[in-house]
Amino acid sequence: MQLIVLAISLVAMALIAFTFLSAARAATLPAVVPRTDPEARRRRVILGLAALGVIVTLLSLRPWPHTIPGTAAVVNVSGGQFYWEIDTDTVPLGEPVAFHAHTVDVTHGFGVMDPAGTILFQTQAMPGYVNQVSHTFETPGTYRVVCLEYCGIAHHDMLNEFTVAAR
Amino acid sequence: MTTMTDVTTVEHGPQTGAVKLTMLIAGAVFLLMMIFGLAMRAAQGALVEIEPGLFYQLMTVHGAGMVGTAGLSGATILWYFTGRHVPLIAGVFHAFLALFLLGVVLILGAIFLGGYAGAWTFLYPLPAFSAGQWEAGAAVTFLLGYTSIGVGFLLLHLEVMRKLIAAYGGIGGAMAWPVAFGRGDPKDAPPPGVVAAMASSIFNTIGIVIGAAVLVASIVNLAFPGFAVDALLAKNMIFFFGHVFINAAIYMAVIAVYEIVPDYTGKPWKCSRAFALSWTVVLFFVMAVYPHHLLQDVAMPGWALAMGQIVSYFSGIPLIAVTAFSLLVYLRGANGMRWDLATGLLVLGVAGWTAGSAPAILDGMIVVNKVMHNTQWVPGHFHTYLILGEVAMAFGFMAWLTRREGETLRGPVATVFWAYVLGGAGFVLMFLVSGALSVPRRWAVHLPEWHLQAQIATAFAALVVLAVTAFVLRYVARLGRG
Ligand code: HEM
Ligand SMILES: [Cu+2]
Ligand SMILES: [Cu+2]
């Protein structure tokens, strides 16, 4: 997911840079009468972007990304300055797991990295709330828990881990 | 009523002296904060060693200092060009500047004397939970610094809105609603800079009022820990304020593009129907989009998160299809335009702002946000539209204030310009790459496998610092020679 997002961004940014550079060059040359009416082109850009927006919205919001399956196994995690407490050290493989994120002091960010170090999901652990996030682990191994909300001077040291294994 | 022709015929706005001084302060603070940023990135690459406590103090001062200075430079641009169209009370600007500087002193004291390192976002209840790094008094001092700056901005915006409302026949007149909604003739519309000044003053005022409320709540909480606030409500208010404030800085700075670029292309920037409509849309979108900062707060109502994602995408349309598109049309229509440092930086500002919207919109999608939120992707996209956007516009405005007739973008000044572009682009791309590789943001210490990325970024950052040093020195030298 992350690398696809990076690729899309780089292409879009390169396209924008190229458009500006070529207009900047054209500005120094004698004026040319545009082949098509700029206002007609502007309308096409707006309609095109709007249509793309509707499609992307529908595809990315259905199903609702924060849905928690009713059958998920529950794991409680609790953050505090500066540690993560997890109520189990082994999490089941191949079935949905719902993490319930608590905090004892400030807001922390409960984030999980796979064995290769790629972030899989996160949610906020916020005073007064128990936020839930669910995930189905596909590969066994050791997963790292990190903090993804700045919580004070040892924020980067709030590390823990758990094992994913078949029941 | 001011008409279009004033835009190009009036040469000097009022209070040029105060404006030049303020931009000098802004340029110098940008440079200093960039040096702090360079130190942080070097520490992440293990090139220098900085204690985590000090790193987070630097992060706090860099965040607050940069956002504040972006606001300062944007508001100064707004004030200068609004002064071309309506008379403004000079004392208001002096009070604004004085309150700003008082705020800076309080913030610096809180961080470097008091040890405050709760980040520029003062996320409730972090200021009250320092784990021994700072006392409650330091946090209160920091928040009072914000309050002082906020009051200054309120004064400035109220004066601007009051005068624009009087001169253009109400809020709707200044926002060009007759043109936007059909009946009016674009020839009678206010200049584009006025529409932008009105819209950004309205939303920045609302943002600052909400910000003041959460500041007061946080200060009371520090004084009386028994007084608790709902953490989710406080977070909503903080991000509403933070989002609106930093966006207002960019929307105010773009006034310089509307007012200066036409002098070079020879075509006045028109307040067309698309332009007028887009600013009304922006007025509402800027305020409605802030939940894109809370996409991982599942306690938020689903509709608010969906709105955050959708408005985040559609906010790109007025930027791309109106401001960027019109600029491109004006450039292509120009006849043998002369580039100088001012126009180079102003156009770069719009290009960088537009480019930065791509990674920003992607991060504003819930599915993407789940894996990229609070990674370095986030500083990646906002440094794009700040370094290559707002800050480029601010230095462009400074170059224009000290321009010489007939100068072109050649020789050493061109080298500095392209060093800034290259350094800035390389630096922000490295943040985006690190974010895509799951490197968290706001970590004082990075894992060894991430060091190389931070080291490359440090080299690009050094290039930016060198270029900005040259921009500031050139500005100072020219101010000195008058
Ligand atoms: C040479 C130029 C710059 C360098 C080297 C630099 C460096 C950095 C670094 C290393 C961080 C922390 C990244 C992390 O979270 O891991 C950061 C954060 C930040 N920077 Fe910059 N920066 C530069 C320019 C700017 C500019 C021009 C602005 C705004 C006008 C800005 C605004 C911010 C903000 C708001 C943060 C977030 C602070 C926080 O997370 O609390 N920076 N910068
Ligand atoms: Cu943390
Ligand atoms: Cu935002």
Same-domain status, A77 and A159: yes
Give residue A154 CA to ligand 2 midpoint distance, Å: 7
User: Are A95 and A141 within one domain?
Assistant: yes
Q: In the block, which residue shows the tokens 């926002």?
A: B175
- B/e letters for B52-89, b = 16+ CB within 10 Å, e = fewer, are bbbbbbbbbbbbbbbbbbbbbbbbbbbbbbbbbbbebe
CA–CA separation, B465 and B479 (whole Å): 21
A96: phi then psi, degrees, rounded to nearest 5: -65, 135
Distance CA B93, CA B1 (A): 23
Q: Which token pair is B419?
A: 């060093």
Span of A73-77, B70-74, B148-152, B182-186 with lowest mean pLDDT: B182-186
B263 touches chain A (CB under 8 A): no
- Ligand 1 atom showing the smallest separation from residue B38 Cα: 5
Structural domain contains residue A67? no
Q: Whose CA is nearest to atom 21 of ligand 1?
A: B37
Q: Render pLDDT for B291-313 as a digit per residue (tens, 0 to 9).
A: 999 999 999 999 999 999 999 99
Residue B391 beta carbon below 6 angstroms from any ligand 1 atom: yes
The arrangement of strands across the sheet holding A141-147 comes to: A90-92, A160-165, A141-147, A108-113, A119-125
- Tokens 């082994």 correspond to A90
pTM for the model stands at: 0.96
At residue B6, the pLDDT reads: 40
Report pLDDT digits (tens) over A19-64: 999 999 999 999 888 788 889 999 999 999 999 999 999 999 998 9
Contact B110, B141 (CB under 8 A): yes
Domain total for chain A? Answer: 2
pLDDT greater than 90 at residue B13: no
* Smallest CA separation from ligand 1 atom 2, residue: B34
**How far away, in angstroms, is B62 Cα from ligand 1 center?**
6
Q: How far is CA B305 from CA A32, B312, B422, in A?
A: 46, 10, 36
In a domain, A86, yes or no: yes
Same domain for A103 and A53: no
pLDDT at A71: 85
Quote the CA–CA distance of B378 and B398 in Å, as a whole number: 28
Per-residue confidence (pLDDT) for residue B8, from 0 to 100? 38
Say whether both A31 and A108 belong to one domain: no
Which residues of B are less than 8 Å from A1 in CB distance?
367-368, 371
Is A109 found in the same domain as A27? no
> What is the enclosing helix (H) or strand (E) of B21?
helix B16-44
Q: Is the pLDDT of residue B10 over 80?
A: no
| Mean pLDDT taken over chain A | 95
The CATH number covering residue A84 comes to: 2.60.40.420
Share of chain B above pLDDT 90, in %: 93
Give CA–CA dist A65/A44, Å, rounded: 31
pLDDT digits (tens, 9 = 90+) for B367-406: 999 999 999 999 999 999 999 999 999 999 999 999 998 9
Q: Domain range spanning residue A45?
A: 2-61
Residue B182: band (very low, low, confident or very high) from pLDDT cuts 50, 70, 90: confident
Q: Does residue A91 lie in a domain region?
A: yes
Choose the final residue of a domain: A27, A61, A95: A61
Structural domain span for residue B434? 4-480
Average confidence score pLDDT of chain B: 95
Distance from CA of B442 to the nearest CA of A (A): 7
| pLDDT grade for B14, boundaries at 50, 70 and 90 | low
Residue A66 lies in a domain: no
pLDDT of B7 higher than 50? no
Most confident of A60-69, B270-279, B439-448: B439-448
Alpha-carbon distance of B427 to A6, in angstroms, equals 15
Distance B455 CA to ligand 3 centre (A): 28
**pLDDT, average across residues B441-457:** 98
Q: Does the predicted interface ipTM exceed a cut of 0.90?
A: yes
Structural domains in chain B (count): 1
Least confident of A72-86, B9-23, B349-363: B9-23
Could A132 and B443 be called an inter-chain contact, meaning their C-beta atoms sit closer than 8 Å?
no
Token pair 């979108």 is found at B285
Closest-approach residue (CA) in chain A for B446: A156
Q: Which of A5, A30, A105 is the closest to B362 by Cβ?
A: A5
What does DSSP assign to residue A125? Answer: E
CATH code, domain with B183 = 1.20.210.10
Taking 70 as the threshold, does the pLDDT of residue B114 lie above it?
yes
